[in-house]
């Protein structure tokens, strides 16, 4: 097995947080380390830990310095983290967890789908086919509740962000930005090219967990008709 040249680095980033960096790029292997480490923190939060925040290739651990009982609280946290990292087994294999998300492509829900087809010299049907055939790894959840940062989209349907962002993007909108695709869980402004909409709630306050997707999941989209969309919308 090829070992990554990057050694895991720990650094202090504020009075109350430390950053654990597993690499400097977006890669499935590095992201897997992030998830393994977070799973460990879920099971074994250290004394004084407030929370952790995962990203593509790093995790920040937020702590209460007053609970470290030291003039140098970061040094205490650092040695705890180093100890954890030395014990962790990063070679375990994830069970693939696929989450299927229905999408009504085009029409009023996907006002930019023709533009995406045009700039890639393909038809709208081909955009739908390529987008719904992909298997997308969820690298992280961030930006807004339940918003997945997912990778692995085909460059055949890549499209740059809109030059002027929309003021309002309805919840459930499925969009493309560069090589990324994603779903807007709540109404927000945004600059992504919109190709469709899902009736599935990406974030549900009463759910457990509240977010439909979590990092490490595989997201898959499948096309539904406008009628099916309305039916599913009503079931909510």
Partner 1 sequence: MSISVLSPGLLTTIQDFGRNGYQKYGVIVSGAMDTYAMRLSNIMIGNEENESVLEITLLGPTLKLEKGTLFSITGGDLSPTINGKNIPRGKPVYLNKDCILKFGSCKTGCRSYFAVAGGFDVPNVMESKSTYLRAEFGGFNGRALQKNDILSIGVKSSKSAKIIKKLEDIKEKSDFIVSSWYMRNFMRQNPENTIIRVFEDRQFHNVSEESINKFFSSKFNVDTRSDRMGYRLAGEKIEFKEKLEMISEEVSVGTIQIPPDGNPIILLADRQTAGGYPKIAHVASVDIQKIVQLKPNDKITFKKITLKEAERLYFQREKDILKLKKSINIITI
Q: How many angstroms separate the first and last alpha carbons of the chain?
A: 47
The residue within the footprint of partner 1, chosen from 8, 32, 38, 200 (CB under 8 A), is: 38
Q: 48, 106, 175, 185: which one contacts partner 1 (CB under 8 A)?
A: 185
Kindly state whether residue 183 participates in binding partner 1, applying the rule CB under 8 A. no
Parallel, antiparallel, or unpaired: how do β-strands 218-223 and 98-105 relate?
parallel
Question: Closer to partner 1 at the Cβ: 53 or 84?
Answer: 53
Q: How many positions of this chain bind partner 1 (CB under 8 A)?
A: 45
74 binds partner 1 per the rule CB under 8 A: yes
Least separation in angstroms between residue 188's CB and partner 1 is: 7
Nearer CB in complex with partner 1: 172/185 = 185
Task: Specify the stretch interacting with partner 1 by CB under 8 A; choose among 14-22, 84-92, 155-163, 226-234.
Answer: 14-22
Rounded distance, CA 37 to CA 175, Å?
Answer: 30
The residues, ordered by sequence, that sit 6+ positions from 91 with a Cβ below 8 Å of its Cβ are none
Among 13, 92, 135, 165, binds partner 1 (CB under 8 A): 13
Instruction: Please list, in sequence order, all residues whose beta carbon lies within 8 angstroms of the beta carbon of residue 205, skipping any fewer than 6 positions away.
Output: none
Q: Which residue has the tokens 């549900």?
A: 204
Strand partners, 11: 19
Question: 58 or 200, CB closer to partner 1?
Answer: 58
Instruction: Note whether 8 binds partner 1 by CB under 8 A.
Output: no
Q: Is the torsion defined by CA of 67, 43, 6, 83 positive or negative? A: positive
Q: Which is nearer to partner 1, 191 or 223 (CB)?
A: 191
Q: Which of residues 42-71 bind partner 1 (CB under 8 A)?
A: 50-58, 60, 62, 65-66
Cβ density class 39-62: b for 16+ within 10 Å, e for less: eebeeeebebbeebebbbbbbbbb
Dist CA 220 CA 223 (whole Å): 10
CB of 205 to partner 1, least distance (A): 6
Contact set for partner 1, span 101-140 (CB under 8 A)? 140
DSSP 116: H
- In the complex, the residues that contact partner 1 under the rule CB under 8 A are 12-17, 19, 24-26, 38, 50-58, 60, 62, 65-66, 73-74, 140-147, 149, 185-186, 188, 203, 205, 209-211, 214-215
């Amino acid at each position: 097995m090829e070992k990554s040249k990057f050694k895991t680095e720990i650094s202090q980033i504020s009075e109350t947080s430390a950053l654990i960096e597993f690499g400097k790029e977006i890669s499935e292997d590095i992201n897997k380390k992030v998830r393994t480490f977070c799973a460990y923190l879920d099971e074994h939060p250290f004394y004084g830990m407030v929370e952790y925040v995962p990203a593509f290739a790093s995790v920040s651990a937020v702590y209460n310095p007053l609970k470290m009982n030291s003039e140098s609280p970061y040094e205490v946290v650092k040695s705890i983290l180093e100890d954890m990292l030395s014990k962790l087994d990063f070679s375990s294999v994830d069970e693939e967890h696929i989450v299927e998300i229905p999408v009504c492509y085009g029409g009023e829900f996907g006002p930019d789908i023709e533009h995406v087809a045009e700039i890639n010299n393909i038809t709208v049907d081909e955009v739908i086919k390529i987008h719904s055939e992909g298997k997308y790894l969820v690298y992280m959840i961030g930006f807004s509740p339940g918003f997945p940062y997912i990778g692995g989209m085909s460059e055949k349907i890549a499209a740059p962000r809109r030059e002027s962002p929309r003021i309002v993007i309805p919840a459930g909108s499925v969009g493309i930005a560069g090589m990324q695709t994603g779903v807007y869980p709540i109404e927000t402004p945004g600059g992504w090219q919109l190709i469709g909409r899902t009736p599935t709630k990406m974030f549900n306050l009463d759910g457990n967990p509240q977010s439909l997707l979590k990092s490490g999941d595989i997201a898959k989209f499948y096309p539904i008709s406008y009628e099916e969309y309305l039916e599913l919308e009503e079931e909510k």
